[in-house]
């Protein structure tokens, strides 16, 4: 994976500047900021698979709070908007968001599991709670990790290197404003690359019919000879 420093060098080359971060003391700081902005914009574009993380978290069974921080290999998860889905442990049913028309304290607390989720800022790195608060067990959180800010040259970029390069180069050209054709060039390249990356996620191998799990019975290629055609009448 590329680092921020690698992408700074890419942008400098794309802009036809003298190569080398050390020779572009003024430009490199601005480009680093543009890279940070590009990462923030692109990571919110969709649920990028490389940023997503599953975590099994126990509930406190009293107030509906999580008992562990949400933290993946890339970052903590602090924003409720980064929560893609929450599932009861052992279930494929997503827990619904709490509608504003429902008083969560009126939900029947007699032995039911989590019914709703809502934003919560009580504890850092635990941006949600479940209702009813007395729900026990655990939930599986599927959430998006985010790049830390401010970025440094050694930070890893987990999104597509070319997309971030084109985004940052376009931002630099817009501010510079000396070559309109160059502005249009990087804008069109960024749009095309973004479409390619989104299309690539759609082409990932996925199970289309969840009624048929991929177990040994399905992948034995018929070698067990369990189906026999009878004699014709």
Mean pLDDT of 158-163: 96
Helix (H) or strand (E) holding 162: helix 161-176
Backbone dihedral region for residue 25 (phi beyond 0: left; psi -120 to 50: alpha; all else: beta): alpha
Note down the domain range covering 61.
Answer: 49-144
Beta bridge partners of 131: 116
Q: Is the pLDDT of residue 27 over 90?
A: no
Task: Tell me, yes or no, whether 14 lies in a domain.
Answer: yes
Amino acid 98: pLDDT: 95
- Indicate if 106 and 188 belong to the same structural domain: no
Q: Is residue 19 part of a domain?
A: yes
Query: Considering its fold, how many domains does the chain have in total?
Result: 2
Verify that 63 and 83 share a domain, yes or no: yes
Q: Whole-angstrom Cα distance, residue 221 to residue 80?
A: 44
Q: SS3 sequence, 77-127?
A: CCCHHHEEEEEECCCCCCCEECCCCCCHHHCCCCCCCCCEEEECCCCCCCC
Q: Are residues 119 and 192 in the same domain?
A: no
Q: Does any domain span residue 206?
A: no
pLDDT at 138 exceeding the cut of 90: yes
Shared domain for 59 and 41, answered yes or no, is no
Average pLDDT, integer, range 57-78 = 95
Kindly state whether residues 17 and 37 are assigned to the same domain.
yes
Residue 142 β-bridge partners: 54, 85
Q: Please report whether residue 209 resides in a domain.
A: no
Query: Against a cut of 0.85, is the pTM above it?
Result: no
Contacts of 212 (CB under 8 A, 6+ apart): 218
Same domain assignment for residues 41 and 15 = yes
State whether 113 and 41 are in the same domain. Answer: no
Answer whether residue 169 is part of any domain.
no
Other Cβ atoms closer than 10 A to 23 = 11
Q: Is residue 160 assigned to a domain?
A: no
Q: Which two tokens stand for residue 145?
A: 């990790």
pLDDT per position as a tens digit, 175-208: 877 788 989 999 999 999 999 999 998 766 666 5
85 and 101 together in one domain: yes
Helical pair 25-43 and 161-176, crossing angle rounded to 10 deg: 120
Q: What one-character DSSP code corresponds to residue 73?
A: S
Same domain, 16 and 70: no
> Are both 89 and 39 inside the same structural domain?
no
Same domain as 41, residue 100? no
Q: What are the structure tokens assigned to 184, written together?
A: 């249009």
DSSP per position, 1-27? --BHHHHHHHHHHHTTPPS-GGG-HHH
Distances (CA, A) of 221 to 101, 138, 189, 206, 216: 52, 37, 45, 19, 9
Judged against a pLDDT cut of 60, whether residue 10 lies above it is answered with yes
Q: Is residue 102 part of a domain?
A: yes
Please, what's the b/e burial string for 152-191 (b: 16 or more CB within 10 A of its CB; e: otherwise)? eeebebbbbebbbbbbbbbbbbeeeeeeeebbebbbebbe
Q: Which has more confidence, 123 or 226? A: 123
């Amino acid at each position: 994976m590329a680092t921020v420093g690698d992408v700074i060098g890419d942008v400098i080359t794309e802009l036809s500047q003298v190569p080398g971060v050390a020779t572009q003391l003024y430009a490199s700081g601005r480009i680093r900021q543009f890279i940070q902005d590009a990462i923030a914009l692109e990571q919110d574009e969709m649920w990028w698979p490389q940023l997503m993380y599953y975590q099994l978290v126990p509930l406190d069974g009293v107030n509906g709070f999580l008992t562990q921080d949400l933290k993946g290999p890339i970052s903590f998860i602090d924003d409720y908007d980064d929560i893609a889905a929450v599932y009861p442990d052992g279930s494929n049913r997503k827990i619904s968001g709490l509608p504003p028309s429902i008083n969560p304290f009126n939900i029947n607390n007699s032995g039911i599991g989590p019914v709703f989720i809502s934003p919560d800022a009580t504890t850092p790195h635990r941006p949600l709670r479940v209702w009813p608060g007395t729900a026990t067990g655990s939930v599986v959180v599927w959430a998006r990790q985010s790049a830390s800010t401010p970025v440094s040259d050694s930070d890893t970029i987990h999104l597509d290197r070319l997309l971030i390069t084109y985004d940052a180069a376009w931002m630099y050209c817009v501010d510079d404003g000396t070559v309109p054709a160059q502005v249009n060039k990087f804008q069109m390249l960024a749009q095309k690359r973004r479409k390619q990356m989104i299309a690539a996620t759609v082409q990932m191998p996925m199970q289309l019919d969840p009624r048929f799990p991929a177990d040994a019975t399905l992948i034995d290629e018929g070698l067990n000879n369990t189906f026999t055609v009878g004699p014709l009448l």
